[in-house]
């Protein structure tokens, strides 16, 4: 697959200056005012540019430059607000002035048909971008029949959630957690690609593949809970896609029944671990199967994988499978407070689930039409499922390693480095 012409460049480090973090939203107010004015101007520019592109097949050079600067500026601002970047951004959206930057394509000819229908074609990408975040909307709302200025509003569950928890982490440690930074960067990167597509900077559709988006970013340490499978298997059976939700209902019923037993097992295991420091092996196995089964059912339901899963959560049977750690000694304090410690991960997971639902909804149509899942959507959904599985494994005491929010796969590292990284 060709590289996307709109490329996210992530520079800088994870250190954050606490005073600017604390006042981040207030400090961004001038930018909010500026972007709202710029957005109003851009409406006219884009409409004119749309006609120009339709007539000549190529956007106007001047207007392409303005639009590119606008798209880049929104990325800089989003990076600042969502704590992806540390320095205060400039107001002109110039290339290379901010560590979190965007490489945009030169003016090039574009398909007239794609240009004509651009606003409709962009709808699926806008849906996902809204779920992920990284966009700002300026506009009016109508209340009691009167139009009223609503101001700027940040959108997107994932970026907002990561920024929220990142803010506390930055205040505490002076450093943005890598997982949250990567997730936010991915979100705003996808938002920038969508904006570039919508505003005629490129006619290449946004790519939601996290690996492609964060190309060049360091991979996180390998997590003991890993999703494994054939990455190239995108095939979907049209019949089972059409009936996917009803077909999943028996699994959902079974999952609910199983979760009751799992809840009991986890509580018992919690006591066992508090006393012994290690989980009961049989309970660990039982819960492992449950977590793996959850992944299988979710992969089937959300169209990440094609086959109908088994009901037993057995390893090695499903194309998208879960590797789980063997029972091992865990820190008693972490065990004791496990539920409370898991809350941020659960919130991030629920934010990711919005995107997951959107991609599943869109994949349903694509799957029916083409008989295969779109690469980008599938990979995003796999990321969301991986995070959910890591969160479940953490919550259900299968591991004490915290879920890693980075969309990137963990890189194998020597055990001592891994432990250090996890502890960090």
Please give the residue ranges that form the binding site for another protein (CB under 8 A). 237, 239-240, 242-243, 245-250, 253, 306-312, 317-319
Q: Which is nearer to another protein, 154 or 371 (CB)?
A: 371
**Least Å distance between CB 390 and another protein?**
22
Distances (CA, A) of 159 to 53, 90, 352, 417: 33, 21, 9, 29
**Least Å distance between CB 248 and another protein?**
8
375-395 helix and 338-370 helix, angle to the nearest 10 degrees = 160
Task: Please give the backbone phi and psi of residue 31, each rounded to the nearest 5 degrees, phi first.
Answer: -65, -40
Torsion of the alpha carbons at 189, 192, 198 and 202, rounded to the nearest 10 = -80
Tokens of 272: 């066992």
Q: Which is nearer to another protein, 115 or 306 (CB)?
A: 306
Q: Which is nearer to another protein, 129 or 389 (CB)?
A: 389
Distances (CA, A) of 340 to 166, 344, 394: 17, 8, 11
Continuous H helices in 178-235 = 178-198, 210-213
Q: Could you tell me where the beta strands, DSSP code E, fall in 5-78?
A: 7-10
Q: Which is nearer to another protein, 119 or 245 (CB)?
A: 245
What 3-state DSSP class applies to 235? strand
Q: Which is nearer to another protein, 32 or 318 (CB)?
A: 318
**Least Å distance between CB 305 and another protein?**
8
Tokens of 183: 């997730």
Q: Which is nearer to another protein, 319 or 325 (CB)?
A: 319
Q: Which is nearer to another protein, 7 or 378 (CB)?
A: 378
**Least Å distance between CB 353 and another protein?**
20
Residue 161: other Cβ atoms inside 10 A:
24
Q: Which is nearer to another protein, 77 or 227 (CB)?
A: 227
Distance between CA 84 and CA 21 in Å, rounded? 11
**Least Å distance between CB 10 and another protein?**
37
**Least Å distance between CB 392 and another protein?**
21
**Least Å distance between CB 227 and another protein?**
15
Torsion of the alpha carbons at 257, 260, 264 and 270, rounded to the nearest 10 = 110
CB-CB contact of 385 with 302 (8 Å): yes
Residue 71: other Cβ atoms inside 10 A:
25
**Least Å distance between CB 5 and another protein?**
37
Nearest to 35 by CA among 206, 132, 152: 152
CB-CB contact of 191 with 134 (8 Å): yes
Q: Which is nearer to another protein, 119 or 261 (CB)?
A: 261
**Least Å distance between CB 313 and another protein?**
11
Distances (CA, A) of 273 to 122, 267, 329, 371, 397: 51, 10, 8, 47, 9
């Amino acid at each position: 697959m060709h590289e996307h012409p709109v490329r996210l460049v992530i520079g800088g480090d994870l250190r954050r200056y606490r005073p600017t973090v604390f006042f981040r939203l207030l400090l961004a107010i001038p930018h909010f005012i500026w972007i709202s004015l710029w957005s109003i101007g851009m409406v006219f520019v884009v409409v004119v540019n749309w006609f120009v592109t339709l007539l000549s097949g190529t956007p106007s050079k001047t207007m392409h430059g303005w639009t590119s600067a606008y798209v880049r500026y929104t990325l800089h601002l989003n990076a600042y607000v969502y704590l992806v970047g540390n320095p205060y951004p400039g107001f002109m959206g110039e290339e290379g002035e901010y560590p979190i930057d965007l490489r945009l394509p030169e003016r090039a000819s574009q398909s007239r048909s794609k240009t004509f229908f651009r606003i409709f074609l962009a709808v699926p990408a806008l849906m996902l971008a809204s779920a992920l975040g990284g966009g700002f909307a300026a506009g009016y709302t109508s209340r009691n029949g009167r139009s009223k200025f609503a101001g700027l509003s940040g959108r997107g569950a994932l970026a907002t959630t990561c920024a929220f928890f990142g803010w506390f982490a930055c205040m505490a440690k002076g450093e943005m957690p890598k997982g949250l930074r990567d997730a936010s960067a991915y979100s705003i990167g996808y938002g920038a690609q969508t904006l570039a597509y919508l505003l005629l900077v490129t006619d290449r559709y946004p790519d939601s593949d996290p690996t492609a988006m964060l190309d060049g970013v360091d991979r996180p340490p390998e997590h003991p809970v890993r999703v494994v499978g054939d990455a190239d298997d995108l095939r979907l059976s049209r019949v089972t896609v059409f009936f996917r939700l009803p077909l999943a209902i028996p699994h959902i019923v079974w999952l609910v029944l199983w979760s009751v037993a799992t809840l009991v097992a986890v509580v018992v295991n919690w006591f066992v671990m508090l006393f012994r420091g290690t989980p009961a092996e049989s309970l660990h196995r039982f819960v492992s199967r449950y977590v793996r089964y959850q992944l299988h059912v979710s992969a089937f339901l959300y169209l990440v994988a094609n086959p109908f899963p088994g009901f037993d959560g057995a390893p090695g049977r499903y194309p998208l499978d879960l590797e789980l750690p063997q029972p091992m000694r865990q820190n008693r304090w972490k065990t004791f407070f496990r539920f409370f410690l898991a809350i941020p991960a659960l919130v991030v997971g629920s934010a990711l689930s919005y995107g997951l639902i959107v991609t599943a909804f869109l994949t349903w149509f694509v799957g029916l039409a083409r008989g295969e899942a779109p690469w980008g959507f599938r990979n995003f959904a796999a990321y969301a499922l991986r995070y959910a599985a890591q969160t479940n494994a953490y919550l259900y005491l299968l591991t004490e390693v915290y879920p890693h929010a980075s969309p990137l796969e963990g890189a194998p590292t020597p055990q001592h480095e891994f432990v250090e990284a996890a502890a960090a």
